[in-house]
Amino acid sequence: MEQLLTFVRGYSFGKMTYPNGGIFGPIKRPYLSILHVFEGACTLQTPETSITVQAGETGLAATNSKFSFSYQKGRSTTATWCEGFLPDMREQDFKALNRRYEPISTSSRLKKLHEIGLSTGHGSGFSLNAMRDTIGLAVVRTFLHESQQSGEDLRLPKAILHARRIIADRLDDETLSISAIADEVEITQQYLITAFKKHLGITPARYLWRLRLLRARIHLVHSRSSQAEIAFKCGFKSVPHFSRSIKKQFGMTPSELRRDVGFTQPSDLDDDVLDIHF
């Protein structure tokens, strides 16, 4: 799931009360949502999964095609959400990046982040979008972190944890290679590749480039640096290589991403999405 975050164009926040239940959706495009339920219950429904979130819980789900919120009939439900839209991608690629998470008890930290996100409203501007994007990413990462407190990360081999730290610290080093990472961790290159695929579902090379692309997108949307400067900061070999990689990953050229400025129209302002109150 963490790798799926590199594809999110921008985040938005919303809050709604359904006094007697209802249905919102379907949202007919690739989409990700984290829902916090204050009272009542809501089921996140996608072709991939169905997750029921009860009062006091937060749930996360993502889809490559269609997403609906089903608020329990005959019961008042109030919920807030943080959402992001994803580009179209091959089903096999989406399945490799997506995973199911059970709802977790909503922490005070998650509540506060949702409140701050809601306070940014639905306006658009360079600084406002940058702030909202940062808060949205913090919400998702907080959920992932807290859902892993059961010990999932503790089960990762120390070699993988070490390799991930090396990659994160040296994204700007275009000479960084998988063999160099393996040497520094003191394991074979083949073991590193096998371990990454087994535990993270991705090769270390793809992991490295996705992190570089995520950092590049952040610079494009939230800084005034030139494309050449960003390419250099993020470890790309050349500006053409940078441009091709951005286009392939996000479905937009660097210039288009920059004009997009990270703004995503909230789903509750989309006239094509049904909003039914029972």
Choose among 263, 262, 11: nearest CA to 137. Answer: 11
248 part of a folded domain? yes
Looking up tokens 């009939």, which residue turns up? 73
Q: How many CB atoms are closer than 10 A to CB 241?
A: 12
Structural domain span for residue 31? 2-151
273 part of a folded domain? no
Structure tokens at 22: 């209802």
127 part of a folded domain? yes
Instruction: Indicate which CATH number applies to the domain containing 64.
Output: 2.60.120.280
Looking up tokens 């972190």, which residue turns up? 145
Residues 90, 221, single domain; the answer is no
Q: Count Cα atoms within 13 angstroms, Cβ side, for 133.
A: 26
Q: ∠ at Cα 123 (120, 127), nearest 5°?
A: 70
269 part of a folded domain? no
Instruction: Indicate which CATH number applies to the domain containing 244.
Output: 1.10.10.60
**pLDDT computed for residue 87 by the predictor:** 79
Residues 243, 117, single domain; the answer is no
Choose among 5, 71, 31: nearest CA to 265. Answer: 31
Residues 173, 222, single domain; the answer is yes
Residues 161, 138, single domain; the answer is no
Please count the structural domains in the chain.
2
278 part of a folded domain? no
Residues 120, 241, single domain; the answer is no
274 part of a folded domain? no
Residues 69, 103, single domain; the answer is yes
**pLDDT computed for residue 80 by the predictor:** 96
Tell the burial category of 67 from Cβ atoms under 10 Å away from its Cβ (0-12, 13-18, 19+): buried
Residues 83, 121, single domain; the answer is yes
Rounded to the nearest 5°, which phi and psi values hold at 90? -65, 145
Distance CA 220, CA 265 (A): 19
Q: Please say whether the beta carbons of 76 and 39 come within 8 A.
A: yes
**pLDDT computed for residue 111 by the predictor:** 95
Name the domain boundary from 151, 183, 204. 151
92 part of a folded domain? yes
Residues 12, 145, single domain; the answer is yes
Residues 143, 246, single domain; the answer is no
Residues 183, 97, single domain; the answer is no
Contacting residues for 169 by C-beta, under 8 A, at least 6 apart: none
Residues 66, 178, single domain; the answer is no
Distance CA 189, CA 193 (A): 6
Name the domain boundary from 121, 151, 181. 151
Residues 147, 162, single domain; the answer is no
Structure tokens at 58: 């937060």
- pTM of the prediction? 0.66
267 part of a folded domain? no
Q: How many CB atoms are closer than 10 A to CB 167?
A: 19
How confident is the prediction along the chain (278 residues), in pLDDT tens digits per residue?
776 777 787 899 999 999 999 999 899 989 999 999 999 999 999 998 999 999 999 999 999 999 999 998 899 999 999 999 887 788 877 887 888 888 999 999 999 999 999 999 988 888 888 899 899 999 999 998 888 764 555 567 889 889 988 998 898 898 999 999 999 999 999 999 999 988 888 899 988 988 898 888 878 877 889 999 999 999 998 999 999 999 888 788 998 888 765 566 677 767 778 888 87
